[in-house]
A = this chain, B = another copy of it.
Amino acid sequence: MLVLVTYDVATKSTSGQKRLRKVAKICENYGLRVQNSVFECIVDATQFKQLKLQLVDSIDPDIDSLRFYQLGNRYHSKVEHIGAKESFNVEDTLIL
């Protein structure tokens, strides 16, 4: 299924910048960056659980936030990209 991960990490402090890098790094292991703080991940239920656990462990819940959107398996017609960095097919890219 496609899971969209969006995040806001407070980066005023050095530790915030470190958290931001860590969050991005974790997301990169599961999916592809489609915008600055937006990742699209093709995961099964177990991977989704792991991804979530790792991200929750990496943020400061008082000042950072994570959002997860489950778009299921039939997501192609639900996603639209306009402008810079043309949209790509997450699954195609993962298969390569």
**How many residues belonging to A are interface residues under a CB distance threshold of 8 Å?**
36
Copies in the complex: 2
Taking CB atoms, residues of chain B closer than 8 Å to A90 are: none
Q: Do B79 and A61 touch (CB < 8 A)?
A: no
Within 8 A of B (CB), among A3-40: 4, 6-8, 10, 34-38
- Are B79's CB and A65's CB within 8 A? no
Question: Is A84's CB under 8 angstroms from B71's CB?
Answer: no
A83 to B66, CA, bound (A): 6
Chain B residues positioned under 8 Å from A78 (CB to CB): 69-71
Binding site for B on A (CB under 8 A): 4, 6-8, 10, 34-38, 52, 55-56, 59-71, 77-85, 87
